[in-house]
Amino acid sequence: MNHFGSGELETAVIQSELCIGCGACVRLCPYFDSYRGKTALLFPCAVEKGRCFAYCPKIEVDLDAITRFLHGIPYDGNPLGHHRGIFIARAGEKVRKQPFQAGGTVTALLVYAFRSGNIRGAVLTNRKGLLPEPRFVTRSADVYRASLSKYTAAPTLSALNEALDKGHGNLGVVGTPCQVTAVSQMRMNPMDKPGFKDPTALVVGLFCTWALDFRRFETFLAGEVPLEKIVKIDIPPPPAQVLEVYLEDGKRAFPLDRIRPLVPDTCGYCPDMTAEFADVSVGVLEGRGDRNTLIVRTERGERIVREAEKKGFLVLEEMPRENLEHLQWAAGNKKKRGFLRSREAGKVNGEPGKTLFRLAPECLDGVFQDR
């Protein structure tokens, strides 16, 4: 693996505007910190090979190594990533009723994982005003508060680093594809720390087409609506093509054409729509705003999903073929776009320390040929 330090990370990621502000490098040390959605290197660090660089999902991501670590097989470029099953899902009757983004599947899984003792803590993203706020929680009751989508990039993993620093283990983590990639790299113990034990017990990935730059989004919304009255933000599935802002006293819809300029450039390099390195991944089911798509990927993920279903926390249905095909098509498109952009920038299998992704060249060809 090509590992470097904070200086290379700052040059190749932060200054190159590849940083999404996931928080993977924050709270590991005093040098990186996050403020209003942006990560900054405060002072130069003298460590040549740091965890910051090793965890970062925007530099030297060895897709083959991660897939081998998680599943024992090489990365194959499948649009949806390695998986064991795909379902329609929603929260069951054991989960408290409240407004969910869609079917409440993520909340249901976390609540069950807490209640069953599968996890003893969870890293989530709350919201303070419009600002996403990383949270480490240790009770299922706290899960509900984090239940709505934020749409802006968030330094969630800083809360994970903080929890690990305090010695917490058996953790649930909920994150976007970039955050899940960082978590998987962290789980691989890249610094070969002796006595290392995977601190995660359940990694839940969230589908993501792109995230919004918090500062740009806030500036945009501040000119349109009273920020303090926002209760929920939603991007309903196509063909709507709008971002909806629910206010205490109504709703405003903004065409996505006005919203897309608020997407950070770095999202254009991303080939992962469904958080392929999670235990389970969750998104909104196309055509049904009150249901989720659930992709089950790992053995431990499958076990928790099945138990949650059995105990009434989760309701699963078969995924119809046409939905599946459309999901595959959408994820494949993002994968092609992301790899194409990355390759054009010389960031696939390129110079050590400046490369975004590493994967077998024939696999990359496969992605581009795949119809």
Q: List contacts with other proteins (CB under 8 A).
A: 28-31, 33-36, 38, 40-43, 45-47, 49-51, 191
Nearer to other proteins, 50 or 271 (CB): 50
- Taking the complex as a whole, how short is the minimal distance between the CB of residue 27 and other proteins, in angstroms? 9
Q: How many CB atoms lie within 10 A of CB 227?
A: 14
- Taking the complex as a whole, how short is the minimal distance between the CB of residue 54 and other proteins, in angstroms? 9
Angle between the N-to-C axes of helices 361-369 and 321-344, in degrees from 0 to 180, rounded to the nearest 10: 130
Nearer to other proteins, 31 or 207 (CB): 31
Separation CA 242–CA 235 (nearest Å): 6
Separation CA 317–CA 333 (nearest Å): 26
- Taking the complex as a whole, how short is the minimal distance between the CB of residue 44 and other proteins, in angstroms? 8
Integer CA distances (angstroms), 277 to 189, 294, 364, in order:
15, 14, 18
Contacts 24+ apart (CB under 8 A), 167-171: 168/120, 168/121, 168/136, 168/199, 169/120, 169/197, 169/199, 170/118, 170/119, 170/120, 170/121, 170/199, 170/201, 171/119, 171/120, 171/121, 171/122, 171/123, 171/199, 171/200, 171/201, 171/202
Nearer to other proteins, 35 or 196 (CB): 35
- Taking the complex as a whole, how short is the minimal distance between the CB of residue 277 and other proteins, in angstroms? 23
Nearer to other proteins, 42 or 141 (CB): 42
- Taking the complex as a whole, how short is the minimal distance between the CB of residue 316 and other proteins, in angstroms? 42
- Taking the complex as a whole, how short is the minimal distance between the CB of residue 35 and other proteins, in angstroms? 4
Integer CA distances (angstroms), 106 to 235, 238, 360, in order:
18, 22, 33
Nearer to other proteins, 47 or 227 (CB): 47
